[in-house]
Chain A
Amino acid sequence: MMKATAGGPFAPLREQLADAAGAFADAPGGLSGILAGMVDDVDRALREKLEIFPVCHHSPASALAMARRLREKQPKVIYLEMCEDLTPLLAELRNCRLPVALQAFATDLDGFPSGWGPLSVIAPITESSAEYQAIAYALDTPGVELIAVDRSADHVFQWLPRPEERDAPAEAPADAPEEAGLHGDAVGVEIGDLRPRFAELEEHLLRHGKVRHWSEWWDQYVEQPLSGADYDTYRQVMVLIGSLFRRLAPGDGERRASDEDRERYMWTRMREHLAATGADPADCLYVCGAFHAASHVEQFGLEAAGPGFDITPRTATRWLYGMIPSSHSAIEAQFGLAGGSVSIAAATWEKALRRGGVKPYKLAKPTGEANPGRAARPLPAAVAPRPVTDRLSGFLSSAPALDALDESELLGWCVDIVRLARRNGYQASTADAIAVFETSVLLAGLRGRARPTPYDFQDAAVTCIEKDVVPGRRDVRRLCEILLGGDRIGQVGYAAMPPLARDVFDRLEPLGLDLSKRTIQRALLDFTADPHLLPCSHLLWMLRYLLRDDTVRPIMGERRLGERPIQESWDLALGRQQRSIIELGYEGVTVEQVVEQRLRRTVHDPSATAAVALAAVEDSILYLGARRFTDELGERAVHLLAAERTVDDAPEVLRRIRRLLAHYRATGAELPAWCEAFVTAGYAHYCTLLPTAFVDEETGVRQVAAMLGFLFSMESLALALGCDRNQLELAVRQSHPEAPAKVALAWAAQAQLGLLSRAELRARCAELLDNPLVIPGFPQYMSGFVQALDPAPGLTPFVVELLSDAFAKLPDRVLLPWLPLLIATLRRQAPEMLPVLVREADRTFPGNVAALDTWTPPWSRTAPAAPLVAAAGPVGDLLVRHPAACDAVAALLGCEGGWVTGDRPGQELAARSPATAEAVAALLAG
């Protein structure tokens, strides 16, 4: 650390502060050390050969001082505290509407834990910031070099604590506006982070300053007094504040170490640059946060004796760079600033420009050709440097000059807020405007200021207008923020977007909509009238597939296998969700390429299953239509299926392969080789696993049913492709399930294969129903039969019969608890089961109530009973010979019909139709 000089321009101030410490502090040693140290820091920073420009983020005072200083000094080199790898992006700022954020993005991680990805660093830039002034000056002034000297985005993550050491990220409040989420979950870096480093100091400052939050404290105690101050005062005060926070910060944190490493990094980079280019330090300006201007690292200063800092190499992670739109509220949310503070800072900046006559630097819009006039314009002569004089004493000892009440400004606010409130459902009136005005002035007086600040006005408006309920979407506090500048949302210009994003905008041009607008736009596509819109629809479906947010949202129309679109309607929010499109641009050059990459990544993921691969095949057909690529995915599905050891996904596999086969058959194209391979592999695979699945407790009945479904419904195709049916029969014969549902399923399979007749099946079920010990478990058998509807549709009449029987015979205590399960099963598997079940029920049951009375279930209908024939034998013969007794008993019992005497029914038939018998006799005789 450099030794501070005891003399110099700040000696009287140092003495004065030491006296004050002696007079007021209980232990003067510590306090005077801090106070003197602060003055030393200021002295050291100001004596540095390389001019240090201390800034604070989103501070209009910093921006104003920067604009003034740049005009005065005309530096040739500007060193900026910003990630060095973001430099190439700066030129693109001229194509954007601020605020935007520079972004470094990485998904292919190498050197970081894989769980960290994707990595994203953003550095938001607002127009009212000092860094924008420096950037605009450097880019628009020929011969000026701008060098970002802070560590790269890669180092940001290298220096981050590992996740287990990190605190959990703060969750965004539930009522945060949508714009606050514009940055996603990126790590934010910004120039000039200046805030107390521990909570107690901030709380102390807020309590003594009688303000609510940090932004208000800063505005009242630094921003306002410094906005009109000269450059020397500005610089000295900012370094003083930076030094204060530095000295009152916890000494041993990760953050402190990281800050110091950054300072070493920046000074090393600057020294390297100066040595390489031979630039004169007097022509250079180092723009950094005030915190870093009071640095104590041994590398501080061009003439420091400290060794150079060993900059660690970057990891092999591939970083991509671009710009994403930002907004005031996103910046506030990211950096923990009070709501509306960045908007208020922007409003203060604009007001200061109107009032103060400072001409800010602004990046010129690209004209397409070089501007020779600008290039030829000579630089105005720089003002010679002034010697350092003590401005701090005056600043610290005198109260800041208070602004007089700006009555017209306040009146304007009051009238506007009432108007805005009325528009948002409040019953506000002119009387409220008067009350807000009066309350603002009173509040400002109570808080010791003559001119109400925006914060006083906001409080007054809430007091006078807000009642017990908020009538609309926005409360008065939010309305005030809107009034005082509102949330400004940036936009990345077309030229600054990655190729993919530009391509998307180009390809959607036929829609005839201005997609840069932030509103949601409705696109109506009628393909009969405008067939040329089909490619747009295709692109929109791909975007929908890639971006699951609301960037593009179909209102009408869907994309499924076998469907041809006729009309579609879309809600497009490409302007609002620019970030999503831009981040998509980091993945590839065209949307198709990104879809392809994602699909390929999905199927090669270690956790991928056959069902996932089949879904990818379907997506590939839907979105890409490339046969070769689809086949590649299909082959992967075959491999995955063969390698699977569980059948958990069997229902999904069955559903998807059925759909794909139907698609290929319907489109007329021959079945791809992978499909055939999938069916044969699946047939063998499921046959092998069937006996195990039947007995395995982990495997559900639905999975087994799906396996059987695959085996039965693909059977003909599989046999045609060379599979052996014996394999299936053996598998079914080897299955000996114990769970009732699976037993029922096994019986159904046997019935389907012809191993069990319908009569046997019916008898088995009847036996179960007759056994009182089995009755409580009978519903489980029924569950199995319900599952059999899909694999064995031939059994549907039997299932309906069984269900009807069960409903009739089972007691309520058994039946009722099972009903919810049945309903839930039917709901879940509605597409497979309900059509067959409903069709069968329609066939079986009567269609109206009247028919119900005379209805007999088909399974109860029996053939008309043949008249009883008395059995032959001595008893029969006796009765036949004396029929009177029997007739009398029959009459008594009410039985009708008479005696059939003589022959057996067969003899009677033969007698009635003798031709057949005679022909047979002739045949036998012949």
Chain B
Amino acid sequence: MTDDMLCAPAEVKYADELDWLESVDDGPKPFSWRLSPKMVRLFVLGSERADGLDREVPQKWFGDRSFVERSIVTLASDRGLLLIGDPGTGKSWLAELLAAAICRNSTLVVQGTAGTTEDHIKYSWNVSMVIAKGQSRESMIPSPIMTAMERGVIGRFEELTRSTSDVQDALISILSEKYVSIPELDDDNIVFAQPGFSIIATANSRDRGVNDLSSALKRRFNFVRVPVVTSKKSEAEIVRFRTTELLRRHRIDLELPPTLLDILLQSFAGLRAAAAAATGDDERLESALSTAEQIGVLEDAILHSHFFGDRTLRAETLGGSLVGSLARRTPEDLAILNKYWHGVVEPRSKKDGGDWPGFLEGGRQAITTLS
């Protein structure tokens, strides 16, 4: 089934694993959860030998164990879960995994944008049916959140802080009373949330101040802050894991040389250090330099090598992709990259050799082309 989809949701991608976990799970399950909290944790963070399972469960989200635990218990409690963090830190991926593990459905998603209205959160009407039959439950189009309430499953709200404050506040009654009333109908006009319903929202900490959450809504969410991964080891694991997945999706058979991965990680670490030391926005790349950006750079390089190259990932291509992906503003970003290339990559390629000279050349060419 996953072959038919460009990007299968987690419950489809890991259906076998979830089925098996459900079959061996004998722990207490809150509400209508399909897995016990311990099994949810195990699904997300992977199994250890000490867990005594017959089958190895791979790790899918890389980060502090306590974040996952806090997220799981929040969903088992009365409050919604708000994952907050910098862009590209894996908030949405964690939300998807949690929803898939808990209720086998991670697709009940509302995407918060400036154009999101209250209808997207509650319900709207099928106008032609209303004309034909009048207002009834049949002619009503429930939102993903309302569907989640009816089924007692997890609803997701992506980028909560991108939607306006009045739209956000529509969630207050949903999270607090756990029902939505439909005043247009005379009877059967209340949709009650079934046990097991909860909401996982994500918010980008860089959007702070755009549409701030009201205190009332804040109170109904537990905040779990997902930090940028700084450990090189974890970051390498994440990049490898996600890239393998992408390669599988694109059906590309290409090997990822560890030395190039190391170059990519080192370059990002260097650029992050430079951004941290910068005093103004002009000295800082516009990119957040997150792990997701690294994966993006690598994907770009892989696709480029596959379709335009000799199907081998080369350092030159990686250098070009890195510059191409990170140079968003001209001339500020290009100046920063140029400085980095001359100040760090060039000495390193002289000192360390290996793939560095190729990386240097590729990046230099890209900078020349873009300038």
- Interface positions, chain B 1-22, Cβ under 8 Å from A, are none
How many inter-chain contacts with C-beta < 8 Å in the A-B complex?
A: 66
A141 on interface, CB distance cutoff 8 Å: no
B223 on interface, CB distance cutoff 8 Å: yes
Given known pairs A210-B65, A459-B66, the reply for A446 and B223 (CB within 8 Å) is no
A562 on interface, CB distance cutoff 8 Å: no
Looking at chain A's contact residues, the main secondary structure is helix
With a cutoff of 8 Å between Cβ atoms, the chain B residues found around residue A212 in the complex are: 64-66
The residue in chain B whose Cβ has the minimal distance to the Cβ of A439 is B73
CA distance A438 to B79 in the complex (A): 11
With a cutoff of 8 Å between Cβ atoms, the chain B residues found around residue A601 in the complex are: none
A463 on interface, CB distance cutoff 8 Å: yes
Could you mark each residue 200-224 of chain A with 1 if its beta carbon is under 8 Å from any beta carbon of chain B, else 0? 0000000110101000000000000
With a cutoff of 8 Å between Cβ atoms, the chain B residues found around residue A429 in the complex are: 219
A435 on interface, CB distance cutoff 8 Å: yes
Could you mark each residue 414-447 of chain A with 1 if its beta carbon is under 8 Å from any beta carbon of chain B, else 0? 0000000000000101011001001100110111
Minimal beta-carbon separation of B187 from chain A (angstroms): 33
- Interface positions, chain B 279-331, Cβ under 8 Å from A, are none
A26 on interface, CB distance cutoff 8 Å: no
Minimal beta-carbon separation of A217 from chain B (angstroms): 13
Minimal beta-carbon separation of A448 from chain B (angstroms): 8
- Interface positions, chain A 380-438, Cβ under 8 Å from B, are 427, 429, 431-432, 435, 438
Could you mark each residue 58-82 of chain B with 1 if its beta carbon is under 8 Å from any beta carbon of chain A, else 0? 0000001110011011101111000
The 8 Å CB contact of A446, one of B72, B79, B218, is: B72
The 8 Å CB contact of A463, one of B41, B64, B222, is: B222
For this complex, 30 residue pairs linking A to B, each with C-beta atoms less than 8 Å apart, are A208-B48, A210-B65, A212-B65, A212-B66, A427-B215, A432-B219, A438-B78, A439-B73, A439-B74, A439-B77, A442-B37, A442-B77, A443-B69, A446-B69, A446-B73, A447-B69, A459-B70, A463-B73, A463-B74, A463-B222, A463-B223, A464-B79, A464-B222, A468-B203, A468-B208, A468-B213, A468-B218, A468-B223, A468-B225, A469-B208
With a cutoff of 8 Å between Cβ atoms, the chain A residues found around residue B249 in the complex are: none
With a cutoff of 8 Å between Cβ atoms, the chain B residues found around residue A432 in the complex are: 219
Chain A interface (Cβ within 8 Å of chain B)? 207-208, 210, 212, 427, 429, 431-432, 435, 438-439, 442-443, 445-447, 459-460, 462-464, 466-469
With a cutoff of 8 Å between Cβ atoms, the chain A residues found around residue B64 in the complex are: 212
The residue in chain A whose Cβ has the minimal distance to the Cβ of B222 is A463
CA distance A48 to B134 in the complex (A): 93
CA distance A212 to B64 in the complex (A): 8
CA distance A208 to B49 in the complex (A): 9
Could you mark each residue 30-50 of chain B with 1 if its beta carbon is under 8 Å from any beta carbon of chain A, else 0? 000000011001000000101
Minimal beta-carbon separation of B261 from chain A (angstroms): 22
With a cutoff of 8 Å between Cβ atoms, the chain A residues found around residue B38 in the complex are: 446
The residue in chain B whose Cβ has the minimal distance to the Cβ of A428 is B219
Minimal beta-carbon separation of A190 from chain B (angstroms): 28
Minimal beta-carbon separation of A199 from chain B (angstroms): 11
CA distance A447 to B72 in the complex (A): 12
CA distance A446 to B29 in the complex (A): 11
CA distance A680 to B53 in the complex (A): 93
With most chain B CB atoms within 10 A of its CB, the pick from A207, A210, A431, A459 is A210
Looking at chain B's contact residues, the main secondary structure is helix
Besides A439-B74, A446-B69, A446-B72, 11 other A-B contacts (C-beta < 8 A) = A210-B65, A427-B219, A435-B79, A439-B73, A442-B73, A442-B77, A443-B70, A443-B73, A446-B41, A463-B70, A468-B223
**Interface contact B205-A442, CB-CB below 8 Å:** no
The 8 Å CB contact of B37, one of A446, A460, A466, A468, is: A446
**Interface contact A468-B84, CB-CB below 8 Å:** yes
With a cutoff of 8 Å between Cβ atoms, the chain B residues found around residue A435 in the complex are: 77-79, 222
B224 on interface, CB distance cutoff 8 Å: yes
**Interface contact A442-B76, CB-CB below 8 Å:** yes
CA distance A432 to B77 in the complex (A): 12
Minimal beta-carbon separation of B268 from chain A (angstroms): 23
Q: How many chain B residues touch the partner (CB < 8 A)?
A: 29
The 8 Å CB contact of A431, one of B41, B73, B219, is: B219
Minimal beta-carbon separation of B224 from chain A (angstroms): 7
Minimal beta-carbon separation of B211 from chain A (angstroms): 12
Minimal beta-carbon separation of A905 from chain B (angstroms): 73
CA distance A467 to B37 in the complex (A): 24
The residue in chain A whose Cβ has the minimal distance to the Cβ of B70 is A463
Minimal beta-carbon separation of B85 from chain A (angstroms): 10
The 8 Å CB contact of B69, one of A207, A431, A438, A459, is: A459
Could you mark each residue 183-216 of chain B with 1 if its beta carbon is under 8 Å from any beta carbon of chain A, else 0? 0000000000000000000010100100001010
With a cutoff of 8 Å between Cβ atoms, the chain A residues found around residue B218 in the complex are: 427, 467-468
With a cutoff of 8 Å between Cβ atoms, the chain B residues found around residue A466 in the complex are: 223, 225
With a cutoff of 8 Å between Cβ atoms, the chain B residues found around residue A460 in the complex are: 70, 73
Given known pairs A208-B48, A446-B73, A468-B208, the reply for A463 and B224 (CB within 8 Å) is yes
With a cutoff of 8 Å between Cβ atoms, the chain B residues found around residue A427 in the complex are: 215, 218-219
Minimal beta-carbon separation of A599 from chain B (angstroms): 40
Could you mark each residue 330-342 of chain B with 1 if its beta carbon is under 8 Å from any beta carbon of chain A, else 0? 0000000000000
Minimal beta-carbon separation of A451 from chain B (angstroms): 16
Minimal beta-carbon separation of A553 from chain B (angstroms): 30
With a cutoff of 8 Å between Cβ atoms, the chain B residues found around residue A438 in the complex are: 77-78
Minimal beta-carbon separation of B72 from chain A (angstroms): 7
With a cutoff of 8 Å between Cβ atoms, the chain B residues found around residue A468 in the complex are: 84, 203, 205, 208, 213, 218, 223, 225
With most chain A CB atoms within 10 A of its CB, the pick from B76, B218, B222 is B222
Which 9 A-B pairs rank lowest in CB-CB distance, beginning with the nearest? A442-B73, A463-B70, A208-B50, A463-B222, A446-B37, A467-B218, A443-B73, A467-B223, A439-B73
With a cutoff of 8 Å between Cβ atoms, the chain A residues found around residue B50 in the complex are: 208
CA distance A208 to B46 in the complex (A): 12
**Interface contact B74-A445, CB-CB below 8 Å:** no
Minimal beta-carbon separation of B179 from chain A (angstroms): 19
With a cutoff of 8 Å between Cβ atoms, the chain A residues found around residue B77 in the complex are: 435, 438-439, 442
The residue in chain A whose Cβ has the minimal distance to the Cβ of B223 is A467
